[in-house]
Amino acid sequence: MSPSDEANTAAAGSRRGPADKCGARAAGAAGLATEPVAPSLVELNGVGVRFGRKDALRDVDLKVEDGAFVAVIGADGAGKSTLVRVLAGLRRPTSGGVTRSVPKEEVGFSGSEFDLYGDLTVMENLRFFASVRGLRDARFRRAAERILEMVGLTEAADRPAAHLSGGMKKKLGLAAALIYEPRLLILDEPTIGVDPTSRRELWGIVAEACAAGTTVVFATTYLDEAERARRVVLLSAGQVTEFSPEMTADMTEGWRAWVLPQGAQKKELRVALARAGLGPRVYLRQEGLALLTHDLVEAEELAGRVLSLAPGTQKGRCDIRPAGFEPASLEPVSLNLDDLFVLVQTGLAAQRGGGS
Amino acid sequence: MRWRRLLSLIRKEFIQIKRDRRTLGMMIVIPFVWLLVFGYAASFDVSHISTGVAAGPQYPLAPMVSTLLASSKYFDVSEQGFATVDDLKEAIRTGKVSVGIVPPQVDGTPGTLVVDGSNLFTSQTALRQLQMLAQGLAVQQGTSPAIPFKTEILYNPDLRSANSMIPGLVGVVMVFIATIMTAMGVVRERERGTLEQLMVTPLSSTELMIGKIAPYVVISLVDLLIVVVAGVFIFDVPFAGNPFLLAGLSFIFLIACLGIGLLVSTVSQTQQQAMQLAVFTLLPQILISGFIFPLTAIPWGVRWIAYLVPLTYFLPICRGIFVKDLGMVNLWPYALILLAYAAAVIMLAAWRFRRRLV
């Protein structure tokens, strides 16, 4: 099953991984940290994957070091799922090579959809995936007890997996991937379709696994989740860009972010944004209207255009706005991952200084 | 190959099959339904054919012909009187009778048998039986020399359809279960996304393949047993041969069928596609392998397809062992072809299966 160009130099030895590696990285560009050099578990060298005429991945180089906590971000269709599948050994690259130093027994994978057996109970699913990896009898019972408690499914052990809620299914997926204590855990959009409480719990489980020494790679479209990782890889048009403080500073040079705090009238702002058609660099975030511009004048101009189109604004009169809107209240903020994402995705990262 | 890993997979498959009551029921009920259909309903033994005899004044021999026909179990002579040939034809057209007989004349003008050609088996039986009656009559009347030979029918002296159909059904049931169930079982894993989870386990593609098909081998062999036992004890089909030889050669045939099922699974994205494709491979096997119609009756333009399907080679084996007590001395050419077929198909399927995995 292994591709010919894939070297399986199965590593022996105990799991390693300092717990401090799994701490959440500080938000924003300034918080992006470099990964310390460690032996890599999987290494992609010039990997390309082609589906028909479309390149899902192009010439991707990526090393996943032992103990790393890596987020792969990108828009829908950017190639995230393909990349994590290549890392997990589920997809053969069309070109390039994959070097693996972790045996299959020690790789855990959980897909974006529920990919366990709905007609088996929670315990039967765990028993099957543990037993094909050699974890049986007393060792399995101990591990199952521990993992079920960890994911909060002890009470549901005898329930058919198909009868679990979406969040519980995701937890079962994680449990099945973690029960044999893998060295490498690969997750494809682990919290998609999950409520905020379950999301928080899922990340708690992942963080715990990571603290115990498991190397984690996950794909996500949620940038707040990517910020939990110590290393972020951006996929765009099948190519990866590694985020590091230097690269981030380079990419965002000349760009500033502003927020017009406005929590109460998001509905009007959303309508106004759609009417203005200013592109992805003016968008709504938790705190209000976010703008990526080169300077305050440009930010005020763009904010004014949006506000003038908000429902309730007198036609053609930018100075008359719904109560609460005031361009002068624009606040400068640090560029975060969302902003980086927008700049890279739209190619604006290359446009520095001067006009936009 | 790690046996414990493989056993874990097989155990999981059996739990799933046990829980999927509908499919399990299908795998057990279908052989019984087919036994009923092919053992009782799909009988080519036609008797009690409703028969009209032209009995106008121009046919003085009509009463004698009617008496002669009534003495045979194959003809039920209608009491309704038909004066002419046209009356008979109208009665056949409206379905009042299945065949019509115009008696011969005293001057030697031969009689006429009028049959409904759209009712093939009835027509053929009526024709055959009437000829036999005519021969008997001729002998009785001394108008023609006695037939210089007698008929001896081997193996199935009563020419019962069941004695031919049920041994053939052994193969048909195995083709069905092995091909459809294997294809569906593998595609179900792909469709539900669970195949990816299997692929990240240390299970090799060979273990995966064997683990997926092993339960269907067991179920198909159980079905084989059901058909044979029901055939012998319910349908009174004599089992003349060696049951172990039948089991051994059935196993080779089964591997060929499982290989076809696996091949189907490698070219199907959904269970629906797998089902359609599997049925596509099943129909020619049932129709032109010799199960229903003799191979020699099929023109070469179509007959070559029969030689591409394994059932064509298995039918002589199961009928031969079941009814004629044939041994390997007689069956080795078929067994050899099946063995080569099974090896080729399973290797091709394994190659495709491995390629589809990653």
What would the pLDDT profile of A304-326 be if each residue is shown by its tens digit?
A: 888 878 776 544 444 434 455 55
What is the DSSP-derived secondary structure letter of residue B54?
B
Do A267 and A162 share a domain, yes or no? no
Do A201 and A265 share a domain, yes or no? no
- pLDDT band, very low/low/confident/very high, at B301 (cuts 50, 70, 90): confident
> Using the beta-carbon criterion (under 8 Å), do B12 and A107 form an inter-chain contact?
no
The answer to whether position A356 is within a domain reads no
List of domains in chain B? 3-42+160-357 (no CATH), 49-141 (3.40.190)
The answer to whether position A295 is within a domain reads yes
Task: Please report which residue ranges of chain A form alpha helices under DSSP H.
Answer: 80-88, 122-131, 137-151, 166-178, 196-211, 223-226, 245-251, 266-276, 296-308, 337-346
* 8 A C-beta contact, residue B319 and residue B164: yes
Taking contacts as CB-CB distances below 8 angstroms, the residues of chain A near B354 are: 1
Instruction: Determine what percent of chain B is predicted with pLDDT higher than 70.
Output: 91
pLDDT of residue A17: 42
Chain A and chain B share a number of CB contacts under 8 A equal to: 76
Interface test with A, best of B11, B190, B197 (most A CBs within 10 A): B197
Taking contacts as CB-CB distances below 8 angstroms, the residues of chain B near A124 are: 12, 15
Do A228 and A268 share a domain, yes or no? no
Closest Cα partner for B347 from B246, B280, B266?
Answer: B266
Residues belonging to chain B with any Cβ–Cβ distance to chain A shorter than 8 Å: 4-5, 8-9, 11-12, 15-16, 19-20, 192-194, 196-197, 199-205, 354, 357-358
Do A229 and A259 share a domain, yes or no? no
The answer to whether position A317 is within a domain reads yes
Instruction: Identify the H or E element spanning B355.
Output: helix B328-357
Q: What are phi and psi of B116, to 5 degrees?
A: -90, 105
Do A241 and A258 share a domain, yes or no? no
The answer to whether position A77 is within a domain reads yes
Do A183 and A112 share a domain, yes or no? yes
pLDDT of residue A266: 74
Average pLDDT over residues B64-80: 86
d(CA B266, CA B208): 14
Looking up residue A34, the CATH number of its domain turns out to be 3.40.50.300
* Cross-chain CB nearest to A115 (options B16, B196, B204): B196
Q: How far A2 CA sits from the closest chain B CA (Å)?
A: 8
* Cross-chain CB nearest to A115 (options B194, B205, B357): B194
Taking contacts as CB-CB distances below 8 angstroms, the residues of chain A near B15 are: 120, 124
Q: How far A131 CA sits from the closest chain B CA (Å)?
A: 6
* Cross-chain CB nearest to A1 (options B9, B193, B357): B357
Report in angstroms the alpha-carbon separations of B97 from A187, B48, B49.
Answer: 75, 11, 8
Which residue range is the domain that position A272 belongs to? 252-350
Domain boundary among A199, A214, A248: A248
Taking every pair of Cα atoms in chain A, the longest distance, rounded to a whole number of angstroms, is 76
Do A213 and A173 share a domain, yes or no? yes
Torsion (CA) B202, B205, B209, B212 in degrees, nearest 10: 30
pLDDT of residue B281: 85
Residues belonging to chain A with any Cβ–Cβ distance to chain B shorter than 8 Å: 1, 3, 85, 88-92, 103-105, 107-109, 111, 113-120, 124, 128-129, 131-134, 136, 176
Do A21 and A141 share a domain, yes or no? yes
Taking contacts as CB-CB distances below 8 angstroms, the residues of chain A near B192 are: 115, 117-118
Do A82 and A204 share a domain, yes or no? yes
Closest Cα partner for A301 from A258, A343, A342, A268?
Answer: A258
Given a cut of 50, the residues of chain A with pLDDT beneath it are 1-20, 24-35, 314-322, 353-356
In A, minimum Cα distance to B3 occurs at A132
**C-alpha Rg value of chain A to the nearest Å:** 23
Domain boundary among A202, A230, A248: A248
Do A122 and A216 share a domain, yes or no? yes
Q: How far B220 CA sits from the closest chain A CA (Å)?
A: 23
Instruction: Tell me: ipTM over 0.85.
Output: no
d(CA A26, CA A13): 32
The answer to whether position A1 is within a domain reads no
Do A238 and A266 share a domain, yes or no? no
The model carries a pTM of 0.72
Q: What is the pLDDT of residues A119-140, one digit of tens each?
A: 999 999 999 999 998 888 899 9
Do A139 and A98 share a domain, yes or no? yes
d(CA B221, CA B227): 10
Tell me whether residue B57 is exposed, middle or buried, using C-beta atoms within 10 angstroms of its C-beta: 0 to 12, 13 to 18, 19 or more: exposed
* Cross-chain CB nearest to A117 (options B16, B201, B358): B16
Strands lying side by side in the sheet with B75-77: B75-77, B49-53, B99-102, B112-115
User: Chain-centre distance of CA A98, in angstroms?
Assistant: 22
Counted domains in chain A: 2
- pLDDT band, very low/low/confident/very high, at B70 (cuts 50, 70, 90): confident
Taking contacts as CB-CB distances below 8 angstroms, the residues of chain B near A111 are: 193, 196-197
* 8 A C-beta contact, residue B9 and residue A129: no
